[in-house]
Chains A and B, each alone.
Chain A
Amino acid sequence: MKLKHLWLTLTLGLIATPVFADDVLDTGDTAWMIVATALVMVMTPAGLALFYGGMSRYKNLLNTLAMTLVSYCLGSIIWIMWGYTLAFGTSQGGIIGGFEHLFMAGIGVNSLTGTIPTYVFALFQMTFAGITVALVLGSIVDRMKFSSWIVFAILWITFIYCPIAHWVWGGGWMGEMGALDFAGGNVVHINAGVAGLVLSLVLGKRIGYGKEAMFPSSIALTALGAALLWFGWFGFNAGSQLAADGVAASAFLVTNTSAATAALVWMFCEWIVTGKPTVLGIASGVVAGLVSITPAAGFVNLPASLIIGLVAGALGYFFVGVVKHKIGYDDSLDAFGVHGMCGVWGALATGLFANPAITEGKAGLFYGNPGQLWTQLISILATATFTAVGTLIVVYVTKALTGGIRVGRDDEIQGLDSNLHGERGFEIA
């Protein structure tokens, strides 16, 4: 019996041997990518929602959760209708994808992308679109109209996220130029951070910003949210290899290392400067470390991830704890400070530390390829410029369509939970 099995396996194995390795489904890769997609999904409506919700004020907790939830829902629907094809359709001059996959046209159960079904690939990418627009929220909670947020999210995913995703991952010019962005330093974090900054500048500061105390509703929720983000980020980074292999394992390793390092560094910075190690600081450090390792995850080795995390923790703390207060803009939950700044650091670090021993042919400055740093710099500047200008246009279009993007004064003071949603986050008797 055993021999017969062996014979069968061998024969089937031979028959299944592909002419082109890429055209055959790999069940291991597929299984991992389905799980990875679910991991990234949980980052938005659970991880980010709690992370941001806990930091927003008690009267705006539900509004923050609602905006995060609808971001993911809108991202899901837009992606299967026109987002996927704009990002991953046949490249039109390296700028944007073609329309051949509108409503997922031309993709069936047998379609493959690499070694996994195209459905899985498209879903995995969909979760990235959802979280990126949701990240922008961090700059503007407590003061934006819910209707305006919905319109903004639809326009922003379509006109800002999809082109940049195409440039980097969909066969566009940035990827062709050789810019390295493993899991979304440019596409996700710099993009969302800069967009958040632009949106927060147009919206203006919250009433009472800098004068009255704005206590987070629950640091406990924020800490739990950071833990869920960390958990989901394994899918985000290790999943971006699109395969269950050694590089995915390495990405997993460096992701965890960078997050842990940055959390400790942020905590010690606070402890030294202000005298107390805060839970919010530890949670923020986790996210800073995760953001920074994102573009580098599949390219750098373990020692590099320690340095990336070390710098991320200090940079994040210094930027949101010191620089922001000196400049005086109101980035409510620091989407720009954490995602924008640490995203830039991660993209540059990729240009420094990319090691050909991890992914063949991808080398940074320290491995004999100084040009990579320059390429990374161009990709950062191009992303930031396009996002800044594009987001500004999207904001003004949104403003025109929804008759202003800011909530009324009374609503802002009384709280968006009761005035916009008719609910309360807590019932404490």
Chain B
Amino acid sequence: MKKIEAIVKPFKLDDVKEALNEIGIQGMTISEVKGYGRQKGHKEIYRGAEYVVDFIPKVKIEIIVESERADQVVEAIQKAANTGKIGDGKIFLSTIEEVIRVRTGEKGKNAI
């Protein structure tokens, strides 16, 4: 099983969600995060006091899928979240050892 973590622009979340629904992904976890990479921050000026805002708001999406579906999911996210501008985000892929459904105790594929 694979975990896909994608950090995307907040206003792209709906596009990503729709793209994932289309390929049959039925659940995900999202969180509002802040960070910076090449995009860097921006400046805000209050009565002449300049503050640099380093951390820019992003949305992190986490999805667990069977290993064979991972490439398809990554491709869908990459297409949907792309604006062509710096700051579009990153996608991380990692291997997951086990998934357990809290309600029934099912494990592995059945628990996804």
Contacts and interface: CB of A to CB of B under 8 A. Distances in A.
6 contacts: A213-B51, A215-B46, A216-B46, A274-B45, A321-B48, A322-B48
B47 A213 contact: no
Given A215-B51, A270-B45, A274-B48, 17 more contacts: A213-B51, A213-B52, A215-B44, A215-B46, A216-B46, A274-B45, A276-B45, A278-B45, A278-B46, A280-B46, A280-B47, A284-B47, A320-B47, A321-B47, A321-B48, A325-B49, A334-B47
A324 interface: yes
Nearest to A322: B48
B53 interface: yes
A3 B88 CA distance: 85
A210 to B, nearest CB: 9
A324 B48 CA distance: 9
B50 to A, nearest CB: 8
Interface in B15-71: 44-49, 51-53
Q: How large is the interface on A (under 10, 10 to 19, 20 to 34, 35 or more residues)?
A: 10 to 19
Nearest to B45: A274
Interface string A184-218: 00000000000000000000000000000111100
B45 A213 contact: no
Contacts of B47: 280-281, 284, 320-321, 334
Interface of B: 44-49, 51-53
A321 B44 CA distance: 13
Contacts of A278: 45-46
B82 to A, nearest CB: 29
Nearest to B47: A320
Nearest to A337: B47
Among B47, B48, B51: residue with most chain A CB under 10 A: B47
A325 B48 contact: yes
Nearest to B51: A213
Nearest to B43: A274
Interface of A: 213-216, 270, 274, 276, 278, 280-281, 284, 320-322, 324-325, 334
Closest 5 A/B residue pairs (Cβ): A321-B48, A213-B51, A320-B47, A274-B45, A325-B48
B32 to A, nearest CB: 11
B40 to A, nearest CB: 15
Contacts of B46: 215-216, 278, 280
Contacts of A276: 45
B48 A214 contact: no
A124 to B, nearest CB: 32
B48 A213 contact: no
A284 B49 CA distance: 14
Contacts of A321: 47-48
Contacts of A216: 46
B33 to A, nearest CB: 16
A324 B47 CA distance: 10
Contacts of A280: 46-47
Contacts of A322: 48
A214 B53 CA distance: 11
Among B44, B45, B52: residue with most chain A CB under 10 A: B45
Among B44, B46, B48, B49: residue with most chain A CB under 10 A: B48
Contacts of A270: 45
B5 to A, nearest CB: 24
Nearest to B52: A213
A278 B53 CA distance: 17
Contacts of A334: 47
B54 to A, nearest CB: 9
Nearest to A320: B47
Nearest to A216: B46
A322 B45 CA distance: 12
Nearest to B48: A321
A214 B45 contact: no
A324 B52 CA distance: 19
A213 B46 CA distance: 10
Contacts of B45: 270, 274, 276, 278
A278 B51 CA distance: 14
B46 to A, nearest CB: 6
A273 to B, nearest CB: 9
Nearest to B53: A213
Nearest to A326: B48
A324 B53 CA distance: 22
Nearest to B50: A274
A225 to B, nearest CB: 15
Contacts of A325: 48-49
Contacts of B49: 214, 325
